[in-house]
Structure 1
Amino acid sequence: MKKNYKLLLLLSLLFSFTAFQAVAQDSEGSLKGTVIDSLTKKPADYMTIALKKDNIVIKTVVTEANGTFNFNKISFGKYTITAVAVGYNAKHVPVELSAKNNPADLGSISVAPQVNNLKEVAITADRPIIKQESDRISYDIQADPENKILTALDMMRKVPLLSVDGEDNIKLKGSGNYKILINGKPSGMVSRNPADILKSMPASSIQKIEVITTPPAKYDSEGLAGIINIITNKKIDNGYNGSLNLRMQGPVGGPGIGGFATIKEGKFGATVYGGTGFWSSPATQRTTTRVTTGDSPTTLFNDGNRKFNNNYRYGGTELSYEIDTLNLLNAELNPYGGYNKQTVTQFSRLFDGTKHTNYDLLSKNRFGWGGFDASFNYQHGFKDNKEHLLTFSYKYSNSRNPQENNLNFSNRENFTDPNYIQNNVSRSLEQTMQVDYVHPVKKLNIEGGLKGILRKNSSNFEYQSFNSATGAYETDPSRTNNFDNHQDVIGAYNSYSYALGSWNLKAGVRAEGTIVKANFVSTGSNVNTNYFNVIPTASFSKKFKNSSSINFGFTQRIQRPDIETLNPFVDRSIPNIESTGNPNLKAVLSNNFDLTYSTFKKGSITVGASYNFANNTIQQVSVYNEQDRTTRSTYLNIGKDKTLISNFNVNYPISDKWNLTVSGNVGYKWIQGAIDGSIVKNSGFTGYAYMNTGYKFEHGWKANGSFNISAPQVMLQGQSNTYVYCNFSGSKELIKDKLTLSAGISNPFSKFRYYRLTTEGANFKQTYLGENYNRSWNVSLNWKFGQLKDAIKKNQRSINNDDVKSSGSKSGK
């Protein structure tokens, strides 16, 4: 009964704001009108209508199919109505709302088409909010009145095809397989800690957010679900601004701090950002069971606890110097680092039908990471057109990832393996040179470029076992080696974009040659692999008069293995269960088709379907060996994947203060591969559903609730389980537009969640069950300061390395 009262109280607090809608305000009224084309005399649909007071936009709506618009609950006073859309001149209409003139009917508002459709409306916040192109959807942050009070992460909840759950995880069409770029280039800070960075970035410093569903040829040919490109403001205003965020989360989590500051003086600008924090968890249970068949059937049972403590540190600075109106220099420096410490206690029992093998294990593991990124860009413009550009770029990246596993056994029964220590230090060095050229010719835009990437990955791993006779640890040469992997990529691209009325066409081709050389230094053996690929890409879009459009795209993409999947280091931190990389892996070529329909009126609705297939995908394969009773996992190019998926996104403003977002996808995946000469097949439904609703109360109060559910992940030898998540949060502006206090609770109805992973082979079935804290709370304080409205001017073309496929595993997750 007590739990029922708590549940009732929580739901009442979350949804009580609906009662506010019924309260009438004596000093409020409504405005309405109809927009028509001055030439055709037909209604002008999909036109943004901005309500301005004292030249400040306070609210925007989009006209209906019949050209009508309506503003409700508007305080009495004098306003200006501005109607604007691509291809039309902006129309400004003054209006006064009072008790005598309520509702205020503006009647028919005529808007005139522009003589030159290539020109853009230059009035801030008077542009269409959402724009659909053949290969992307863009959300104009500066056209949204809330850009002055929200963060970049908050704005992402509004962008079609994007969703943000209660843990601030960003999804593109329900998938986490995407790339985040800042002004068209990767950022080490954002890629490793996107939520922390975007929460400290004010939305007012962003021009627009692009969701690129069919990456054009200028992007490296990595098989992404899409690209999120955050374009910051390029206007130059002297001054400074910044923000500081303090936060705390428990019982899993810890304290954190992040900040962001920008200064602009004359031709010079600088941005500095950084943060640090801790992420810890009390002990939670981990269980592994394995049943094997064959001549010597066995049963393995591991049961224990794991606790961990993480620390992350990130920072960076961006420098800009505008030599003159046609020449611009940019530089970016990004150090980062951190570690994950784990302590595992485990009881293990192996039964082979005749005897038991038992032991207790104490394992102390440490995973570290750290590195430094630097990039330099020079951009030259031409007087004939501001989009006519020539850019030279260089990027340097150096990272280090040490790992240590220290295993000690006790209470042994029929178990003779010695205590041992594993050390592995992997390093990555990458240098990139690139030149890009953009040449617009009337309605045709031509792009071309050259790129070279020089990568060097190394791994120095050592195995030391305890010698009870000498009382010291001794190196085992058979399990110790040095591994170097060199990967050089040379690429060139050429692409074209053409606009013809309501049609927009984009097409291009990218040629890439890859040279791979892997050396086992200690044994003197090597692996060499070279390959060449020509990657086409094409997309088109058609806009209709009812504020909708349809888009189709096709591209081939390459997925190259990263150092985690290539590294031959054998992780023996769990006895009888080992994992390693494979230096013989080759790149994967995938084919991707994407069809999307979008309509934008009062809200936005996007539905789509995609299909992709590949014939040599990299799969993690597990095989049980009867001789030493060990399950070994590695990566092989054996997969044949096919995925058909549909997606949807609805962003609807129920009222001026209440917004609802619903998104998700549902699809089916087929996968097969040959393991030890036998064909293995698996298939199943995949899917993701997300709902978020938020309400803005008076006096700076806000409430938000979200819910999402994910279907099991389908893998070659098994699948995971369903995952459900919910979150409730609220915030209060202590000082308007300056200081905000936020708090929330995640999954209040269950203390733990359980991750189940089942893996099956020809002679074994293995199940892992991991317990994680589900219920958590968080509180944060965000302070914004300064007077700079716009960020530093940046290069429009720069280096973008997104060609590597990761193993998807991160320590401590």
Structure 2
Amino acid sequence: MKTSVVFFFLCTLSIFAQKSELSGKVVDADQNFPLEYATISVIDAETKETVNGGVTNIQGEFNFKVPKGLYNLKVEYISFETKMFENIDLTSNKNMGTIKLGFEAADLDEVVVTAETTTVDVRLDKKIYNIGKDLTTSGASITDALENVPSVTVDVEGEISLRGNENVRILINGKPSAIAGFGSTDVLQQLPADAIDRVEVITSPSARYDAEGTAGILNIILKRDKTLGFNGSVKASVGTPLNQGLSVNANARTDKFNIFTNLGYTKRKPDGNAYFENEFLSSTSAFDKVIEERDYRRNRKSFNANIGSTYFINDTTQVTLSYFTRFGDDEDRTFNETTRFISSSLDSRTLRTEEEFEDENSHQIALNFEKKYSRDGHKLTADVQFSIDNEETDNFIQENQYFPNSENIADEKLIENSDEKDFLVQADYVLPMGEAQFEAGFRGSYKNDKTDYVLFQKDMNNDYAIDESVSNIFDYDRNITAVYSQYGNKFGDFSFLLGLRFEHTQLKGETTPYGDISDIEDLVGEDVELNFDKKFKGFSQQLTLLMSYLKTKM
């Protein structure tokens, strides 16, 4: 009896051990992109029953173990053709190699729905969050999706901060873009969240990036629609306080061309109020208690449009030309009532009114070239981009005391016009070498910002007059030319990234005062240097280390 049991147990182990491994990779036949979440089914050739299966990973790869035998393999991906491989002999391990799927022109008879969740991939110099499709992003905007990214916060005004620091640099597809806004992120509230492919949080920028943003870099990678024919979406939103929005996204794709457009309009009135009560226990303050009550009235409207086209020279080479424009019209009013006390007795009460009217328009034209090679990830990209941003701001400030007596304390008008021009030329080369990867590139960023700042104050005749002591025109240039190279590799559980960057930077400023320079010098009591031209150049090195067990997926 014992012998039979042992014999049966050994036979069972032998049967379970007789398994073969079936593996492969699924890619888009048109551009050789890996197809993540492609459905793989391993079917018994005799019974036609599915014995194993699942979906491909982010690299488009699959790997299954099945008992030795004869099987059929079915590969499916929505809007792509289905491929069936019959009578595969799995008496030993079998690698199907690279399976290429072409677009399916015929109508779909059925749709296979698979759940997509946000995943995170930890790399040497960044964390990559692949935005999934769930209830938190469905129908939401890009800023809504960013709220779900760890360490990233978005306030009620749409301002983005990283780890509590608002000095964060925002890139679109690895480049500064008018889509991310020149000092404003309103456009990100109009683009749908499902336009995002992934978000890269870069807290320790490598040699590839300029030294900007003390908090780090947020690189938002937008999706490229690969579906043949015409497709699009319309999104409308209504909220209270008044928050209306309309966005239209359309895409038309043929074998050689892809034409896309994004249109967005928003109108918001994010009114609010605040209350501050400060008590001073030391004698350094003239008051014992100060109470401030603020009332905010805001009215903001904006329109943006992005249109472009991609020409596919061949299966591995493409050129994209795009144009982006944005118009914004903001009106902000703040009423600040301040009450001051001395020894619990009312000392004074004032009302300060601030009104700000801002008109902004941005324009950007961009040309992108991309060449992919046979090896996955081996590519050359080049970009040329020119942007113009004009912003005109009118501020009116008035402060009146109405207790213990009526008195006008301040009555000012500030007009500020800013014209910003940015020219960018960039080229990047990436060469994977097994576990290792080599990168090299060039980047030229040339910016001119001209600001006309004029302060008016009411004179004795109750007329506005220019305050020439502070009114000026400031012309600023920032020119950065850089080349970089970096190499990363992995040895077992240990990874490293070594980078080298040479950068030449010119900072040039010229100030033209409205008044006489000698009058300004007499006012401050010393000589004033209004212009500067500084140049910096040098190498910077970076070494980043990481243990591979930190690389996780959620």
TM-score by length of 2: 0.67
Report the CA distance shift for 1:180/1:223 in structure 2 as closer, same or farther (over 3 A): closer
Question: Is 1:404 paired with 2:376?
Answer: no
> Which stretches in structure 2 are left out of the alignment for 5+ residues?
1-15, 24-35, 41-48, 73-89, 103-111, 518-529
Q: Distance in 1 between matches of 2:37 and 2:433?
A: 35
- The Cα of 1:122 is off from its aligned counterpart by 7.9
Q: Distance in 1 between matches of 2:500 and 2:547?
A: 22
- The Cα of 1:320 is off from its aligned counterpart by 1.5
Mapping 1:339-738, distance limit 5 Å: 339-348=329-338, 359-381=350-372, 387-407=378-398, 409=400, 411=402, 413=405, 415=407, 417=409, 419-441=411-433, 443-469=435-461, 471-501=462-492, 503-522=494-513, 525-532=530-537, 534-543=539-548, 549-550=549-550, 599-600=552-553, 604=554
Higher RCO (C-alpha 8 Å, min separation 6): 1
Select which of 311, 318, 338 maps to 2:300.
Answer: 311
Report the CA distance shift for 1:277/1:291 in structure 2 as closer, same or farther (over 3 A): same
Cα offsets for 1:39-66 (capped at 9, x unmatched): 9x9xx9xxxxxxxxxxx97999xxxxxx
Q: Distance in 1 between matches of 2:148 and 2:284?
A: 59
Cα offsets for 1:729-748 (capped at 9, x unmatched): xxxxxxxxxxxxxxxxxxxx
Select which of 74, 87, 90 maps to 2:63.
Answer: 90
Q: Judging by fraction of residues, say which structure has more strand.
A: 1
Cα offsets for 1:714-765 (capped at 9, x unmatched): xxxxxxxxxxxxxxxxxxxxxxxxxxxxxxxxxxxxxxxxxxxxxxxxxxxx
- Residue 204 of structure 2 aligns to a residue in which SS? coil
Code of the residue aligned with 1:518 in structure 2: it is G
- Residue 329 of structure 1 aligns to a residue in which SS? strand
- The Cα of 1:521 is off from its aligned counterpart by 0.4
**8 Å contact from structure 2 (residues 377, 430) kept in 1:** no
Report the CA distance shift for 1:415/1:156 in structure 2 as closer, same or farther (over 3 A): closer
2:86 is matched with none
- Paired residues in the alignment total 464
Cα offsets for 1:41-97 (capped at 9, x unmatched): 9xx9xxxxxxxxxxx97999xxxxxxxxxxxxxxxx9786237667975338799xx
Code of the residue aligned with 1:262 in structure 2: it is N
Q: Distance in 2 between matches of 1:478 and 1:265?
A: 61
Larger Rg over CA atoms: 2
Select which of 33, 53, 56 maps to 1:81.
Answer: 53
Q: Distance in 2 between matches of 1:300 and 1:369?
A: 40
Mapping 1:295-306, distance limit 5 Å: 297=286, 301=290, 303-306=292-295
Q: Distance in 1 between matches of 2:434 and 2:535?
A: 41
- The Cα of 1:495 is off from its aligned counterpart by 0.9
Code of the residue aligned with 1:457 in structure 2: it is D
Code of the residue aligned with 1:337 in structure 2: it is F
Q: Distance in 2 between matches of 1:527 and 1:385?
A: 48
1:23 is matched with none
Report the CA distance shift for 1:337/1:350 in structure 2 as closer, same or farther (over 3 A): same
Q: Distance in 2 between matches of 1:145 and 1:300?
A: 50
Q: Distance in 2 between matches of 1:484 and 1:347?
A: 37
**8 Å contact from structure 1 (residues 509, 537) kept in 2:** yes
Question: Is 1:325 paired with 2:315?
Answer: yes
Between 1:293-302 and 1:173-182, the stretch displaced more is 293-302
Cα offsets for 1:445-465 (capped at 9, x unmatched): 322222222222222222222
Q: Distance in 2 between matches of 1:170 and 1:78?
A: 48
Q: Distance in 2 between matches of 1:485 and 1:253?
A: 38
- Residue 124 of structure 2 aligns to a residue in which SS? coil
Code of the residue aligned with 1:340 in structure 2: it is D
- Residue 212 of structure 2 aligns to a residue in which SS? coil
**8 Å contact from structure 2 (residues 38, 55) kept in 1:** no
Report the CA distance shift for 1:149/1:415 in structure 2 as closer, same or farther (over 3 A): closer
- The Cα of 1:355 is off from its aligned counterpart by 12
- Residue 186 of structure 1 aligns to a residue in which SS? coil
Code of the residue aligned with 2:64 in structure 1: it is K
1:256 is matched with 245
TM-score by length of 1: 0.48
Q: Distance in 2 between matches of 1:274 and 1:307?
A: 29
Q: Distance in 2 between matches of 1:156 and 1:484?
A: 35
2:176 is matched with 186
**8 Å contact from structure 1 (residues 452, 491) kept in 2:** yes
Mapping 1:742-753, distance limit 5 Å: none
- Residue 211 of structure 2 aligns to a residue in which SS? coil
- The Cα of 1:502 is off from its aligned counterpart by 5.0
Cα offsets for 1:684-743 (capped at 9, x unmatched): xxxxxxxxxxxxxxxxxxxxxxxxxxxxxxxxxxxxxxxxxxxxxxxxxxxxxxxxxxxx
Q: Distance in 1 between matches of 2:18 and 2:96?
A: 14
**8 Å contact from structure 1 (residues 88, 112) kept in 2:** no
Mapping 1:231-310, distance limit 5 Å: 231-233=221-223, 236-250=226-240, 252-282=241-271, 284-287=273-276, 297=286, 301=290, 303-310=292-299
- Residue 240 of structure 1 aligns to a residue in which SS? strand
**8 Å contact from structure 1 (residues 169, 195) kept in 2:** no
**8 Å contact from structure 1 (residues 397, 431) kept in 2:** no
- Residue 469 of structure 2 aligns to a residue in which SS? helix
Q: Distance in 2 between matches of 1:534 and 1:371?
A: 34
Q: Distance in 2 between matches of 1:171 and 1:218?
A: 22
Report the CA distance shift for 1:433/1:510 in structure 2 as closer, same or farther (over 3 A): same
**8 Å contact from structure 2 (residues 390, 420) kept in 1:** yes
**8 Å contact from structure 1 (residues 300, 348) kept in 2:** no
Report the CA distance shift for 1:373/1:286 in structure 2 as closer, same or farther (over 3 A): farther
Q: Distance in 2 between matches of 1:209 and 1:355?
A: 54
Select which of 123, 126, 145 maps to 1:133.
Answer: 123
CA RMSD of aligned residues (A): 4.9
Report the CA distance shift for 1:431/1:245 in structure 2 as closer, same or farther (over 3 A): same
Cα offsets for 1:410-434 (capped at 9, x unmatched): 6473856453322222332222222
Q: Distance in 2 between matches of 1:357 and 1:115?
A: 83
Q: Distance in 2 between matches of 1:380 and 1:113?
A: 32
Code of the residue aligned with 1:538 in structure 2: it is L
> Which stretches in structure 1 are left out of the alignment for 5+ residues?
1-34, 45-55, 61-76, 96-108, 544-548, 551-597, 605-813
- The Cα of 1:444 is off from its aligned counterpart by 3.8
- The Cα of 1:161 is off from its aligned counterpart by 6.1
